[in-house]
Amino acid sequence: MSKWADKFVIGLTGNIGTGKSVVRKMLEHLGAYGIDADALAHRAMARGAPGYQPVIQAFGRWVVGQDGEIDRSKLARVVFADPEALRHLEAIVHPLVGQAVELLVKRSRQKVIVIEAIKLIEAGMGRWCDSLWVTYAPQEAQVERLVKRRGMKESEAKQRIAAQPPQEEKIAAAQVVIRNDATFTETWKQVNDAWKRVVGQLAAEPPTWVTEVKKPIGEVTVLRGKPQHSAQIAEKLNQHRRPGDPVLTPDDIMAAFGEKAFLLIQLNQRFVGLIGWQVENLVARTLDLVIDPFIPPDQALPVLVNEMERASKELQCEVSLVFLPSEWSHLESEWRKLGYEPRTPEALGVQAWQEAAQESLRPGMKVYFKQLRIDRVLRPI
């Protein structure tokens, strides 16, 4: 039984590059509240956060970059080559992450929590959980993902993998093993089957229908996107794709469900637009937003954005970032009415917010910012 009597807690772990985050996102689609403990570890070392000075005292000021933040790539080169240094870093960071997890679990209204952490067992968080899930992938898949998705050199990827215990050790402790070495559809089936078997009726799947309002143009309904909507989502995004953008397939959307969530908007039961966004590190990032041109933006935009914000607040997000192409610039007044303002990534202040903006901002796009919460997890001291 977990340490939180009113929650059912899934502990999700697995070695680097085995697809933990994809599985966590899938569990969130099924109704769990997801916590990325590894992202919280990064936040614990941000400038002003509780772990910032202890890490500098332990490893020296040379790990601080020109921007005043701890350069995690420098730190990684030290700790992944020296087991004693890694243990020292974990002794600083793990207690802070534990405090942040405690706060987020208590805030959450969901009955099922999934805590993702690469060191879940080693950090002692495994004993907090009702069920331990482990992701597995063969080493060649791990290396390929680290090179392609994280930009590592092959030698660096292999060093990271070699620095971790054999996957079999985690598998031996698991109640559920997800083999994440095939298609997203096959991984989704494994996760869905395990959810039904382990969680059962403890948590109801989020309803497809979300909200409905009457507008001058008619009855506007917002629906929660599900994998079965993949073909519709692909078709709508293709209708609005910009020059040079690839044509999307339903399989592409199935893969996207491993990273983001979708809300679909209907007018008089006709599918007229969508919003696609992801929540990572307590930051909501809207990456896809399309509305058919015959729909007045002031009729549809507030309904869609307000529902995205409501869902993001349920996930304890601190801020919402919306990335818009230049052709949306004429709607800046509408965004200001919704509480958003254009910002550069550098002007966002908090490192996690800046990193999210820098990662997602593309040429010819602007980022719009809105703060959703005043109180922050691992706030500066």
Q: Where in the chain is the domain with CATH 3.40.50.300?
A: 8-198
- Under CATH, which number does the domain 8-198 receive? 3.40.50.300
Give the relative orientation of helices 154-162 and 139-150 as an angle to the nearest 10 degrees.
Answer: 130
Burial of residue 158, with CB atoms counted within 10 A of its CB: 0-12 exposed, 13-18 middle, 19 or more buried? middle
- The span from the first CA to the last CA of the chain, in angstroms, equals 34
Which of 173, 200, 4 is CA-nearest to residue 101?
4
Task: Tell me which residue has tokens 């987020």.
Answer: 104
Quick: pLDDT tens for 284-296: 999 999 999 999 9
| CATH class, 209-371 region | alpha beta
Contact yes or no for 329/124 (Cβ under 8 A): no
How much is the average pLDDT of 357-369? 92
Q: How do beta strands 33-36 and 261-267 pair?
A: unpaired
Quick: pLDDT tens for 44-73: 998 888 999 999 999 999 889 888 889 888
Confidence category of residue 351, pLDDT binned at 50, 70, 90: confident
Query: Can you read off the two tokens belonging to residue 167?
Result: 């996957």
Give the C-alpha separation, 141 to 136, whole Å.
10
Give CA separation, 306 vs 261, 275, 370, in Å.
15, 11, 12
Q: Where in the chain is the domain with CATH 3.40.630.30?
A: 209-371
Which of 16, 1, 7, 3 is CA-nearest to residue 34?
7
Q: How do beta strands 341-343 and 319-325 pair?
A: unpaired
Give the C-alpha separation, 141 to 148, whole Å.
10
**At 367, which helix (H) or strand (E)?**
strand 365-371
The sign of the CA dihedral 347, 350, 351, 356 is negative
Query: Can you read off the two tokens belonging to residue 305?
Result: 């954005």
pLDDT of residue 1: 62
Task: Tell me which residue has tokens 């933040």.
Answer: 69
- pLDDT of 309 above 60: yes
- pLDDT of 314 above 80: yes
Query: Can you read off the two tokens belonging to residue 132?
Result: 């331990």
Contact yes or no for 281/246 (Cβ under 8 A): no
Q: Which range among 66-80, 117-131, 193-207, 275-289 shows the weakest confidence by mean pLDDT?
A: 193-207
- pLDDT of 203 above 70: no
Query: Can you read off the two tokens belonging to residue 378?
Result: 């691992």
**DSSP state, 175?**
S
pLDDT of residue 210: 74
Which residue type occupies 100? A
Which of 321, 330, 315 is CA-nearest to residue 349?
321
pLDDT of residue 209: 59
- Rounded to 5°, the CA angle 201-203-209 comes to 110
Which of 192, 375, 216, 207 is CA-nearest to residue 307?
207
Confidence category of residue 131, pLDDT binned at 50, 70, 90: very high
Percentage of residues in the chain having pLDDT higher than 70: 96
Quick: pLDDT tens for 204-249: 566 665 777 887 788 889 999 988 899 999 999 999 988 888 999 9
pLDDT of residue 88: 92
**At 38, which helix (H) or strand (E)?**
helix 37-44
Confidence category of residue 80, pLDDT binned at 50, 70, 90: confident
Give the C-alpha separation, 48 to 53, whole Å.
8
Which residue type occupies 121? I
What's the whole-model pTM score? 0.81
How much is the average pLDDT of 100-109? 89
Confidence category of residue 79, pLDDT binned at 50, 70, 90: confident
Residue 352, φ and ψ in degrees, nearest 5: -60, -35
pLDDT of residue 178: 96
pLDDT of residue 206: 62
Q: Which range among 29-33, 207-211, 248-252, 369-373 shows the weakest confidence by mean pLDDT?
A: 207-211
How much is the average pLDDT of 12-38? 91
The order of strands in the sheet holding 209-215 is: 209-215, 218-224, 261-267, 270-280, 283-291, 319-325, 365-371, 341-343
Quick: pLDDT tens for 329-350: 888 999 999 999 999 999 998 8
**DSSP state, 193?**
H
Query: Over the chain, what is the mean pLDDT?
Result: 89
- The SS3 assignment for 291 reads strand
pLDDT of residue 77: 85
Task: Tell me which residue has tokens 């990273």.
Answer: 259
Which of 271, 326, 322, 333 is CA-nearest to residue 297?
333
**How many helices (H) and strands (E) would you count in the chain?**
14, 13
Residue 277, φ and ψ in degrees, nearest 5: -145, 160
